[in-house]
Amino acid sequence: MRSAATTVAQFLRELPADRRTAISKVRAVIRKNLPKGYVERMCQGMISYVVPHRLYPAGYHAKPEVPLPFAYLTSEKGHMSLHFMPIYLDPPLERWLRQQFQIHGKKADMGKSCIRFKSLDDLPLEVIGEAVARVPVAAYITKYEDALAVRKPREKSAG
CATH of the domain at 115: 3.90.1150.200
In this structure, what DSSP letter does residue 120 have? Answer: G
User: Domain range spanning residue 94?
Assistant: 8-158
DSSP state letters, 47-67: EEEEE-TTT-TT-BTTBTTSP
Residue-wise pLDDT for 92-129, tens only, equals: 999 999 999 999 999 999 988 899 999 999 999 999 99
- What is the overall mean pLDDT for the chain? 92
What's the confidence (pLDDT) of residue 46?
Answer: 94
- Distance between CA atoms of residues 85 and 60, nearest Å: 12
Domain count, the chain: 1
Residue 146 covered by a domain: yes
Residue 51 covered by a domain: yes
The average pLDDT across 84-90 equals 93
Give the torsion sign (CA, 19, 78, 120, 10). negative
Residue 96 covered by a domain: yes
Residue 1 covered by a domain: no
Beta-bridge mates of residue 73:
47, 82
The average pLDDT across 77-84 equals 94
Extract the runs of DSSP E, i.e. beta strands, from the chain. 39-43, 46-51, 68-75, 80-84, 109-110, 114-117
Residue-wise pLDDT for 25-79, tens only, equals: 999 999 999 999 999 999 989 999 999 999 999 999 999 999 999 999 999 888 9
Residue 2 covered by a domain: no
